Amino acid sequence: MRTLTAAACLLLVALPAQAQSVEDFYKGKSINLVIGFSVGGGYDLYARHLGRHIGKHIPGNPTIVPQNMAGAGSLRAANFLYSAAPKDGTAFGTFARTTGINPLLESGATFDGTKFSWIGSVTDDVSTCITWHTTAIKTWQDFTTKPVTLGGQGPSSEPDIFARLYKNVFGAPIKLVAGYPGTNEITLAMERGEVDGLCGLSWSTIKTRHAKWLAEKRINVLVQSSFKKVADLGDVPLVLDLTKDAEKLQILKLILAAQEMARPFAAPPGIPADRKAALVAAFDKTMKDPEYLAEAQKARIEVNPVSGPAIDKLLAELYATPKDVVKKASEAITK
């Protein structure tokens, strides 16, 4: 009888894994959907909504299991996905839109935003600053001239980034109270009078999670931060229109670029190319799924998708920003 060599045996063992299709890999498996914020906020809403639909568009129809991992303004979740999560396609997640550019702006970052396996963003968005109706801060003029206390989460979170940005670029007399797990907890603190308001809250979140505020005129929307105004916000000023200073505009534009990928989803770096392609394709199909869209409309979820490749291109451009501009922008959001 002919005896197989050790090398031949190893080859036979390896063949099934090499020949395994994406469908075979995912069949009967679960995918962890890591959510970098606490339950009840805007990112949680968008993630769970996606999780209910994307599985049927992934070959093998794996089960999607949402997993909240709040901490440090979603940096905990981003670090987990980048370094600790399985790199086999069984984990992906969502974190703050600014997370992809945080390593560009902050020293000591533990990941490179361009190396995530970007799947896509459900929409672009507009960031706002809001205050509760009982405060004296009712307009942008008030915001930049009167003391205001804002809620925050951690150094890399949007509420903290935007609060420091406006403090350093416009001289707003802001006191930042950090340490809240998510924007849901900050808004509750605002309603209780612990803080006057917060920055970095998405207009889409206000419309979907807090429509009652608008109907009852319980908040003041002070500014809209994006590259373009939205009609819904009427005469609320666009932050780019509030300065003519060329250097300040460069800083603002670098930070605001994150609004173009407002509800991002990414898998860890280095997952198998065919599984990454399957996740990207599933995301794109979900964005056109009639059931997904109908549920989104009912929940007032904005759907204006940005593809994974488009996010890759945007981040590549941002990471090529001149170093002197990056340094100034970093100082504006970290001090």
pLDDT, greater one: 228 or 223: 223
Q: Tell me the helices (H) and strands (E) count for the chain, helix number first.
A: 15, 11
Superfamily holding 127-258:
Periplasmic binding protein-like II (3.40.190.10)
Sign of the C-alpha dihedral computed for residues 5, 6, 12 and 18 taken in this order: negative
Q: What is the pLDDT of residue 259?
A: 86
Measured over the CA atoms of residue 74, residue 75, residue 77 and residue 82, the dihedral's sign is positive
Q: What average pLDDT score do residues 185-196 get? A: 97
Per the prediction, the chain carries an average pLDDT of 91
pLDDT at 15 over 50: no
At 5 the pLDDT is 55
pLDDT at residue 330 greater than cutoff 50: yes
Q: Is the pLDDT of residue 334 over 90?
A: no
Each domain of the chain, given as residue ranges in start order, spans: 29-124+260-323, 127-258
Q: What are phi and psi of 151, to 5 degrees?
A: -85, 145
50 vs 287: CA distance, rounded Å: 9
For residue 263, the model assigns a pLDDT of 93
Please check the confidence at residue 138 and state whether its pLDDT lies above 80. Answer: yes
Read off the pLDDT of each residue in 260-271 and give the average, rounded to a whole number. 95
pLDDT, residue 204, reads: 85
266: burial class by Cβ within 10 Å (0-12, 13-18, 19+)? buried
- pLDDT digit string, tens, across residues 104-114: 887 556 789 99
Higher pLDDT, 9 or 161: 161
pLDDT(238) > 60: yes
Q: How confident is the model at residue 10 (pLDDT cuts 50, 70, 90)?
A: very low
Assess whether the region 29-124+260-323 and the region 127-258 belong to the same CATH fold: yes
* 295, two tokens: 């549920």
Task: Give me the pLDDT at residue 266, please.
Answer: 98
Edge-first strand order for the sheet with 30-35 is: 63-68, 30-35, 91-94, 264-267, 117-121, 306-307
Q: What is the pLDDT of residues 22-48, one digit of tens each?
A: 999 999 999 999 999 999 888 999 999
Instruction: Write out 162-182 in H/E/C secondary structure.
Output: HHHHHHHHHCCCEEEECCCCC
Amino acid identity, residue 215?
A: A
> For the chain, what percent of residues have pLDDT higher than 90?
73
Give 141-177 pLDDT, tens digit per residue: 999 999 999 999 988 788 999 999 999 999 999 999 9
Q: What is the CATH number that goes with domain 29-124+260-323?
A: 3.40.190.150
Residue type for position 178: A
The C-alpha atoms of residue 59 and residue 81 are separated, in whole angstroms, by: 22
